[in-house]
Amino acid sequence: MGGKLVVGNWKMNGGLVSNQNLLSALVDRLPEDVETAVCVPYPFLAQVSSLLSNTSIGLGAQNVSEYVEGAYTGEVSAAMLCEFGCRYVIVGHSERRTLFGESDSAVARKASAALASGLKPIVCIGETLAERDAGRVREVLERQLAALGEDALLAAGNGRLVIAYEPVWAIGTGRSALPEQVQDALACIRSWLASRVADARKAKVLYGGSVKQDSAAALFALPDSDGGLIGGASLSAAEFVSICEAAGAVSRSSDLGVKRSNG
């Protein structure tokens, strides 16, 4: 699993001045043993790429076209994102699925396009409240995973694929899933990957769903948690730093436990 990965998703927020203030407050304050990134709206890619140059914070976008190039007005290709220095791109966020009708197959095609250009796709999956109440969590997660192509599975084994579990009912609602609910879902994802990928532990599996600084430590300490996809809290420098520090503390504690057991 390696170290934790914490990614901030700014969603449709930001401005030239506020972006500079936020990132200035983040640089040099994030723990070195945590991999961090921010996924920002398209218009701010150039600005944020410049502000993050010579830092350890990765740059990502929030969506990508499934098409390489051509007459697709309003679309942005993976190659274009790479030109701005993007390392990550979110695909299949629950808001894209529910508000803009993105299907499992469309999400899979976007993930493939990202991989083909050298980006790391952060593939979001998760169930609605109705699906959870109906006892269909595993069914939904496995259906969304099964839509991914062979290239995505190969990428998972090479550590180039990130899966973010985000229960739809916990996105932007302030309501976070219970740690045991999260672990059950993360274990389901890990088990599904392990049955199809030689080294499934190389694939990062994150939790996203109203993660706050007071819940981060418990969520990051779960056996199958590799970090988090952070929404609203990533717009506050103090809160995002606290969440990343919680991730670092969990990683260091885990490493210490491993050393003791091996010593």
Sketch the domain layout of the chain as residue ranges.
5-262
Q: Which of 93, 95, 239, 245 is catalytic?
A: 93
Contacts of 11 (CB under 8 A, 6+ apart): 41, 62, 95, 231, 232
Residue 166 known to be catalytic: yes
Percent of the chain with pLDDT over 70: 95
Which pLDDT belongs to residue 7? 98
Spatial contact of 93 and 166, defined as CB atoms under 8 Å apart: yes
Secondary structure class of 232 (helix, strand, coil): helix
- How is domain 5-262 classified at the architecture level of CATH? Alpha-Beta Barrel (3.20)
Q: Which of 35, 66, 95, 166 is catalytic?
A: 166
Q: Is the pLDDT of residue 252 over 60?
A: yes
Pair type for strands 35-40 and 162-165: unpaired
Which pLDDT belongs to residue 177? 84
Contacts of 44 (CB under 8 A, 6+ apart): 14, 16, 19
Residue 69 known to be catalytic: no
pLDDT tens digits for range 189-207:
999 999 998 888 899 999 9
Reported as a pLDDT band with limits 50, 70 and 90, residue 251 is confident
Residue type, 235: L
pTM of the model: 0.94
Secondary structure class of 129 (helix, strand, coil): helix
Lowest average pLDDT, out of 12-21, 42-51, 86-95, 201-210, goes to 201-210
